[in-house]
């Protein structure tokens, strides 16, 4: 098959293949057939165009450092708890309807949103199909492989539709209003975005090469090579030297070695020193990967087991800027492309636009041990009972099953007041092993004791 038949304006006969270089002819034939079969990606990412799909980024996630950075970015950006409000923080029937529509999903909204964010962070773009069940109940968000979805544009470059490549390789049209689209790092009207892993690709490749070299090094020099100093009277080709050579080869399997007194055994320390160079280079490349994905390499450093608190807080703040940006983007995608659509279908566009339902993810605040201790001491000094539920909400501490708040009022600690819900009064004379205490008038002094009911 030649590429000439794809050119309708070509009227001349097919040229003789012998008149063209064989390699050049085959290259041109394959390239034009590939272009006319519509398998070329519009994505301007050089790595995607080089590999033909997103397999290079999906392969990078298998690396432990890349997976840890991406997991932290995705899991921190999309917390488990969420709510639907309006820009002014008020509730109305539109927001309550949206909450009810998202509350009965087959899986939690956070899990579906994390899968969409993962696709957008790794591939640069994420497509998710909205599953709707009557009456306007969101079943699930089915995330599609970006390599099987592409845009359909008109002559002005405006997106008019989406197309999906099925198992037969045919591109079928999709309803764009039934899909969510999240684009990361969009530049110059690039609707496919740029992966967050793009800046970490070079250190990832170098690290892969270094890992192969280290594997070869460990295979050969896992144990330092041994050598023996033979006395001048012993020839290297003698039977005694051969016996010592055999003992050295089998030394790793034995724990006892018998050698002549004038023979010395040593280790090649120069080869052992190369291991530190590998570890130093691996740490430096891992930090570059973390910096490319999270804009910070956290508390790791070359040659350092720890670093200062101020430097760690600086890196943490730099990483949180990107994490919060991803959270704001997924909130905007779900608010504009999901909540507004179901609200407009239920109440009409006018009421949906006036209500403007907005989805917000609620993150647990990070527990600060110093602030936690100061708060507990302040509550104790003020006479308040430290409520576990309050501390959990304030500092993000998990609750046990028996510590879940039941809605009862905790109250304040007052020795002279009896609180019926959580405390009861016990006279001093009724306490076991106590001495009777009387006031100046000879009557028993009322003293209260806090006893859990």
Domains of the chain: which residue ranges? 1-37, 226-267, 414-453
Which pair of structure tokens corresponds to residue 12?
Answer: 């001349």
Residues 380-431 have pLDDT tens digits of: 677 666 566 666 665 555 555 444 444 434 444 444 443 443 344 455 455 4
Which range (11-20, 28-37, 133-142) has the least confidence? 28-37
Of residues 378 and 271, the one with the higher pLDDT is 378
Q: What's the average model confidence in pLDDT over 79-108?
A: 86
What is the rounded distance in angstroms from the CA atom of residue 130 to the CA atom of residue 447? 64
pLDDT attached to residue 250: 67
Task: Report CA 226 to chain centroid distance, whole Å.
Answer: 46
The CA-based dihedral angle spanning residues 245, 249, 253, 259, taken in that order and rounded to the nearest 10 degrees = 20
Residues 345-363 have pLDDT tens digits of: 888 888 888 888 889 898 8
Tokens 């040229």 belong to which residue?
A: 15
What is the rounded distance in angstroms from the CA atom of residue 372 to the CA atom of residue 98? 36
Instruction: Indicate the pTM of the whole model.
Output: 0.65
pLDDT attached to residue 286: 87
Task: Report CA 187 to chain centroid distance, whole Å.
Answer: 23
Give the start-end residues of each E strand in 239-294.
264-267
Residues 158-177 have pLDDT tens digits of: 778 888 888 888 888 888 88
Q: What is the DSSP letter of 399?
A: P
Q: What's the average model confidence in pLDDT over 303-323?
A: 68
CB 54 within 8 A of CB 123: yes
Tokens 């070079």 belong to which residue?
A: 202
Residues 198-232 have pLDDT tens digits of: 888 999 999 988 888 888 877 776 666 676 666 76
């Amino acid at each position: 098959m030649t590429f000439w038949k794809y050119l309708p304006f070509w009227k001349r006969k097919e040229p003789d293949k012998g008149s063209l270089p064989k390699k050049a002819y085959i290259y041109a034939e394959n390239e034009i057939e590939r272009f006319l079969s519509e398998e070329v990606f519009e994505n301007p990412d050089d790595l995607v165009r080089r590999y033909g799909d997103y397999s290079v980024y999906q392969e990078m996630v298998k690396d432990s450092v890349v997976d840890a950075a991406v997991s932290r970015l995705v899991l921190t950006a999309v917390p488990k708890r969420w709510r639907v409000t309006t820009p002014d923080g008020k509730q109305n029937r539109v927001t309550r309807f949206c909450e009810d529509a998202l509350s009965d999903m087959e899986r939690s909204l956070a899990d579906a949103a994390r899968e969409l964010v993962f696709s957008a962070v790794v591939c640069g773009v994420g497509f998710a199909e909205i599953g709707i069940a009557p009456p306007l109940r969101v079943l699930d968000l089915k995330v599609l492989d970006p390599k099987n979805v592409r845009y359909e544009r008109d002559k002005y470059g405006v997106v008019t539709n989406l197309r999906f490549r099925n198992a037969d390789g045919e591109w079928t049209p999709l309803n764009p209003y039934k899909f969510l689209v999240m684009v990361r790092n969009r530049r110059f009207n690039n609707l496919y975005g740029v992966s967050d892993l793009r800046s970490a690709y070079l250190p990832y490749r170098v690290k892969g090469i270094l890992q192969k070299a280290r594997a070869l090094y460990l295979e050969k020099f896992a144990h330092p090579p041994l050598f023996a100093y033979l006395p001048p009277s012993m020839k290297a080709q003698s039977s005694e030297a051969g016996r010592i050579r055999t003992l050295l080869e089998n030394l790793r399997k034995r724990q006892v070695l018998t050698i002549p007194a004038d023979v010395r055994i040593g280790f090649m320390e120069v080869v052992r020193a190369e291991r530190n160079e590998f570890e130093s280079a691996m740490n430096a490349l891992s930090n570059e990967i973390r910096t490319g994905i999270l804009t910070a390499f956290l508390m790791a450093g070359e040659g350092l087991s720890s670093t200062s608190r101020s430097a760690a807080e600086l890196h943490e703040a730099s990483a949180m800027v990107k994490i919060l940006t991803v959270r704001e983007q997924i909130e905007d995608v779900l608010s504009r492309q999901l909540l507004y659509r179901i609200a407009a279908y239920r109440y009409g566009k006018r009421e949906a636009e006036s209500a403007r339902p907005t989805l917000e993810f609620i993150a647990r605040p990070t527990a600060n041990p110093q602030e936690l201790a100061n708060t507990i001491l302040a509550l104790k000094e003020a006479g308040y009972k430290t409520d576990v539920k309050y501390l959990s909400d304030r500092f993000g501490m998990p609750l046990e099953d028996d510590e879940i708040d039941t809605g009862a009022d905790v109250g304040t600690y007052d020795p002279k007041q009896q609180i019926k819900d959580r405390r009861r009064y016990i006279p001093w004379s009724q306490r076991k092993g106590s001495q009777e205490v009387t006031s100046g008038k000879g009557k028993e002094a009322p003293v209260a004791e806090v006893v859990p009911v």
